[in-house]
Structure 1
Amino acid sequence: MTYHETYYEIINECHSVLSLITEDDTNQLIDAILSADKVFFVGIGRVLLSLQAICKRFNHIGIPAFFVGEINEPAISPDDLLIVASGSGESIIPVEIAKKAYELHAKIALISSNPCSTISALSNIFVRIPAQSKLGLVEEVKSYQPMTSLFEQSVLLYGDTLSKMIIDRKHLDMNALWKHHANLE
């Protein structure tokens, strides 16, 4: 395949998956983000990278956000939200972190392909990104990309969508956001 055919196929896959996420689930997650004192993120592998980008963007838009395991991670409380992303909802580290957050009475939101996972049973909010996972569930959108690339890309794009919707809801001035951007670069 050519470059143009390949990127077009990837963009079409992302569009297919993102179009299946519901407005209700998205609004429920945004409400939880905006009502939380702090937002925490956990994921592993390439999902971790997507979540770290979202975490940084949330800080840019004035939401105190932390990635679990960071050196500056504060304590989580019942007034906080843990956002977990895991295609399968069964990855060992996210499962254990979700269990701990549940014990501490924090609100938990899961972004996953699998609605019947260990983490979904602990979650207050579930957002389904029905991209191909390692489980190969019947209702997942199949991908021509390697492994779970489609899920990881969709998580990042979904996070940017959430950020833009929060900017709109809070009527933030896009130019004023630069004051929160790193300036030691």
Structure 2
Amino acid sequence: MEFNKAQNEIVSEIKQTFENISADEVNALIEAIEKADKVFFVAVGRVLLSLKSFAKRLAHIGVDAHIVGDITEPAITENDLLIVGSGSGESSFPLIIAKKAKSFNATVAHIGSNPNSTMSNYSDYFVRIPVQTKLGLENETKSVQPMTSLFEQSLLLLGDTICLMMIDNKNIDMPSLWEFHANLE
């Protein structure tokens, strides 16, 4: 496949996916983020990479964000939010962590593709990224890409979209954000 065809396919898939993400679900997640004292993130593989980008950008705008398993991870409490990234909602490690977070009365949000997954047993909030799954669910965006690439790309862009919305809602001066950018690089 040539470059122009490949990039057109990917951009088209992302656009179609975003047209089917619920604004109400996103707004509810933003409210949960803004209400939380600390926001924790858990996922595995490439999904974790997308969530790490989301956590970093939230930290830039003043959210106390942490990746589960990092050496500097603090304790989660009933005042905190755990955001789980799992397309299927069946990944073992995120499920175990979500269950553990609920045992501390933390709030749990799941960003995934399957609203009827096991993760729904532990989630207070759900944002569906309606991409192709093995289940053939309603309104799925079909993808020519390998495995779960479309979910991971959409998750990364959803995190940036949420941060942009929060920046606008808080009237944050964009140039002022540079003072929070890493400077030991």
TM-score by length of 1: 0.97
Counterpart for residue 170 of structure 1: 170
Shift of 1:22: 1.1
Shift of 1:75: 0.4
> Mapping of 1:33-112 within 5 angstroms?
33-112=33-112
Task: Point out the more displaced range, 124-133 or 164-173.
Answer: 124-133
C-alpha deviations, 1:79-135, integer Å up to 9, x for none?
0000001010000000000000011110000001000111112111010001123x3
Q: How many residues align?
A: 184
In the alignment, which residue of structure 2 is the partner of 1:15? 15
Q: Which residue of 1 aligns with 2:136?
A: 137
The answer for unaligned runs of 5 or more in structure 2 is none
* Whole-angstrom distance in 2 between the partners of 1:41 and 1:16: 26
- C-alpha separation between the residues in 1 aligned to 2:156 and 2:2? 25
**Which consecutive aligned stretches of 4+ in structure 1 deviate over 4 angstroms post-superposition?**
none
> TM-score scaled to structure 2, two decimals?
0.97
Find the counterpart in structure 2 of residue 6 from structure 1.
6
SS in 2 for 1:143: coil
Query: How far apart, CA to CA, are the structure 2 residues paired with 1:138 and 1:66?
Result: 32
Aligned to 1:159: 159
Secondary structure class of the residue paired with 1:110: strand
Report SS of the residue matched to 2:147: coil
Question: Which residue of the partner structure matches residue 118 of structure 2?
Answer: 118
Q: How far is the alpha carbon of 1:142 from its aligned partner?
A: 1.4
Question: Equivalents in 2 of 1:48, 1:13: separation in Å?
Answer: 21
